Structure 1
Amino acid sequence: MSGAPVDLDNCGTTVSVGTPPERLVTLNQGATQVALALGLESRMAGTAYLDDAVPEKWKAAYDSVPVLSKEYPTKEKLLASRPDFLYASYASAFTDKAVGSREELRGQGIPSYVSPFGCSDKSKVAPTTWQAMWGELNDVAKVFGVTERATAIQRGQEQQLAQLGATAAGKGLKVLWFDSDTKTPFVGAGHGGPQLVLDAVGAANVFGDLPGGWQNVSWEKVVAADPDAVVIADADWDTAQSKIDYLQGDPVLSKLTAVQRKAFVVVPFSESTPGVLLADGAARVSAGLSRLHQGS
């Protein structure tokens, strides 16, 4: 473990640490999973805010870390854990409604890092690319002096993506990525995690021409697109089964090709957003689309 001082530019804020932190608190599931992937559980003083289940491969490590809150902890609860570094996936963690501003916390001797995909200043948000995801992983690894672990994860994911590309399980398939909202469905657009996954498996995103990572669309546009398959996000706050029930119960949507064929691929929400699990999401979608091709 390296003990060299680190200075990073993070969302327009300079993050400085003199020695690797020993009492990390993660404030969103994405951040928690990066920390666990890097093997930092013994240096975690707390965690908060899950969207879905922590993968089995990290469950024992996760269970060894105190859970401070179901969502964001209060400032008092956070400070009681005596953190020396904070890491969040979204800038919403650092508001007065949550744990306080990054500036306020820095004044108390607690530096922080926000995922480059979750900056409060939209002009600072990183483009959604695999390289940017590995950049976040490497940033955190530098802070904690474990850069060799980040390098190994990146190499493994590069190999995984190469294999998925060679398999091209989505070739010839039009796919809808359905995240949430049954009134005006919130879907994967052309510049986010879903697009990266669908590109990785060779599938066409029916809303890939829309800007941003996610967009609300109309059901009329979904019907016009008539996807061959639907990837459905599964989250604690909006389960995949509730969305499948809606599609199958609607008199119009139930006639879609994908719904008639029950061509659903369920993906945990945490595997649909830019982060250390997105490559696993691509593998899951690839496996699901392969089964559809086989008619099972």
Structure 2
Amino acid sequence: MLNWTRHRRAAVAPVTAATLLLLTACGAQVQPQSGEGTGTTTVNRCGEPVEYTVPQRAVVYEGGSADKMFALGLTEHVHGYVMPPANPPVSESPWASEYEKVEFLSDDLLNRELVVDAGADFVVAGWNSGFSDSRGITPEILDTLGIQSFLHAESCFNYPGHPERHTPFDGLYTDLERLGEIFGVPDRASKLIAEYQDKVDAVREQAPGGDPVPVFLYDSGTDKPLSAASQVPPNDIIRIAGGTNIFGDVDARWFEASWEAVVEAQPEVVIILDYGDQPAEDKIAFLKNNPVTANIPAVEQDRFFVLDYNEAISSPRIVDGLEKFAEYLRDDVRHG
């Protein structure tokens, strides 16, 4: 994954100790609310309890952040989105009609000036793919500006100071639950999570038997390949579908591997990560023409599966990516 290093507040309701509800699943304390758009909520942000008022002008970075908000029916709380070139066109999103209702702010990297100029009261992004020490936009900096922020739980693995660890799919569920609490729509979030969990369970039940198929995810790179380790969604996609990630024992997120390690693992399937400025066709051509990789089983047998960028980052669309890859393993690989 490329390292894209990709204030109005609602009225605060009175707090009483008797009315606080402890949400152990995601570390949230919630005041009873009269409806969406009111109240305050304390929710963990990568292990750090943070008090939120209901945002009205959210800025979302990349498709995963936007899609979580849209999937929860929170479009009216989104002021605009920032979409770097890696992301496929928003017209291809299942929520294309929701993108049309909010403002396109920039195709640049997330930065403090953009957020301030937009009058944002809430920013949703991941750590290092959005929030960044080097670019001077971190949750702590935004706190000092009175701008609330939300970090994808999956990216807390790298977040300094207040780390949490989630498997990638559990990270998605955690994000939806926490956003549901912040915006006062917990029932909506619970229903959506249950729908996604049912789909994941159905894939798991249909996974082919026998030894798991070894799978290599190719993100980018020619001298060395950038690939997926254990802490990013493709690892869960591969595992739940019935394969095994050849770098699934690496305790990291996206990392630089070696071609020697790829060849040694003899992957039978290559997942190609497809995004804007590096088309899948070019990556496949490189693997076929590179003498180091031309003879690995997946390349020899032309077993390439193209995974959309937004099906590989923390997003509701990872469920779509799982279903598609599971079907590929069942039909094209096991019975091909």
The answer, yes or no, to whether TM exceeds 0.5 is yes
Which residue in the other structure is 1:178 paired with? 218
Q: CA deviation at 1:6?
A: 0.5
Q: What is the CA deviation profile of residues 88-127 of structure 1, one whole-angstrom value per residue up to 9, with x for unaligned ones?
A: 1225644576574434433333211111233431761423
Q: What is the CA deviation profile of residues 206-244 of structure 1, one whole-angstrom value per residue up to 9, with x for unaligned ones?
A: 222322233322212222222111111112243322210
Q: Go from structure 1 to structure 2 and tell me whether the alpha carbon gap of 1:142 and 1:200 turns closer, same or farther (over 3 Å shift).
A: same
The 5 A counterparts of 1:233-244 are 233-244=273-284
The 5 A counterparts of 1:1-296 are 1-2=35-36, 3-18=38-53, 20-50=54-84, 51-53=86-88, 54=90, 55-91=92-128, 93-95=130-132, 98=135, 100-119=137-156, 120-121=159-160, 124-169=163-208, 172=211, 173-289=213-329, 290-295=331-336
Q: Is residue 5–residue 17 contact of structure 1 (8 Å, CA) maintained in 2? A: yes
Which ranges in structure 2 are unaligned for 5 or more consecutive residues?
1-34
Q: Is residue 88–residue 115 contact of structure 1 (8 Å, CA) maintained in 2? A: yes
Q: TM-score, normalised by structure 1?
A: 0.89
Q: Go from structure 1 to structure 2 and tell me whether the alpha carbon gap of 1:74 and 1:201 turns closer, same or farther (over 3 Å shift).
A: closer
Q: Is residue 116–residue 124 contact of structure 1 (8 Å, CA) maintained in 2? A: no
Q: Go from structure 1 to structure 2 and tell me whether the alpha carbon gap of 1:99 and 1:218 turns closer, same or farther (over 3 Å shift).
A: closer
Q: Supply the AA of the counterpart residue of 1:199.
A: R
Q: CA deviation at 1:141?
A: 1.4
Q: Go from structure 1 to structure 2 and tell me whether the alpha carbon gap of 1:273 and 1:142 turns closer, same or farther (over 3 Å shift).
A: same
Q: Go from structure 1 to structure 2 and tell me whether the alpha carbon gap of 1:63 and 1:98 turns closer, same or farther (over 3 Å shift).
A: farther
Q: Go from structure 1 to structure 2 and tell me whether the alpha carbon gap of 1:91 and 1:192 turns closer, same or farther (over 3 Å shift).
A: closer
Which residue in the other structure is 2:11 paired with? none
Q: CA deviation at 1:48?
A: 0.4
Q: CA deviation at 1:129?
A: 4.2
Q: Go from structure 1 to structure 2 and tell me whether the alpha carbon gap of 1:128 and 1:294 turns closer, same or farther (over 3 Å shift).
A: same
Q: TM-score, normalised by structure 2?
A: 0.79
Identity in percent: 27
Q: Is residue 203–residue 323 contact of structure 2 (8 Å, CA) maintained in 1? A: yes
| Structure 2 CA distance for aligned equivalents of residues 223 and 193 of structure 1 | 23
Q: Is residue 43–residue 178 contact of structure 2 (8 Å, CA) maintained in 1? A: yes
CA RMSD between the two structures: 2.4
Which ranges in structure 1 are unaligned for 5 or more consecutive residues?
none
Q: CA deviation at 1:28?
A: 3.0
Q: Secondary structure at the match of 2:198?
A: helix
Q: Is residue 91–residue 114 contact of structure 1 (8 Å, CA) maintained in 2? A: no
Q: Secondary structure at the match of 2:80?
A: strand
| Structure 1 CA distance for aligned equivalents of residues 129 and 319 of structure 2 | 25
Q: Structure 1 stretch 279-288 or stretch 93-102: which is displaced more? A: 93-102
Q: Secondary structure at the match of 2:219?
A: strand
Q: Is residue 78–residue 99 contact of structure 1 (8 Å, CA) maintained in 2? A: no
Q: Structure 1 stretch 97-106 or stretch 206-215: which is displaced more? A: 97-106
Q: Supply the AA of the counterpart residue of 1:30.
A: G
Provide the aligned length of Structure 1 versus Structure 2: 294
Q: Is residue 24–residue 85 contact of structure 1 (8 Å, CA) maintained in 2? A: yes
Q: Is residue 231–residue 267 contact of structure 1 (8 Å, CA) maintained in 2? A: yes
Q: Structure 1 stretch 121-130 or stretch 61-70: which is displaced more? A: 121-130
Q: Go from structure 1 to structure 2 and tell me whether the alpha carbon gap of 1:170 and 1:37 turns closer, same or farther (over 3 Å shift).
A: farther
Q: Is residue 152–residue 314 contact of structure 2 (8 Å, CA) maintained in 1? A: no
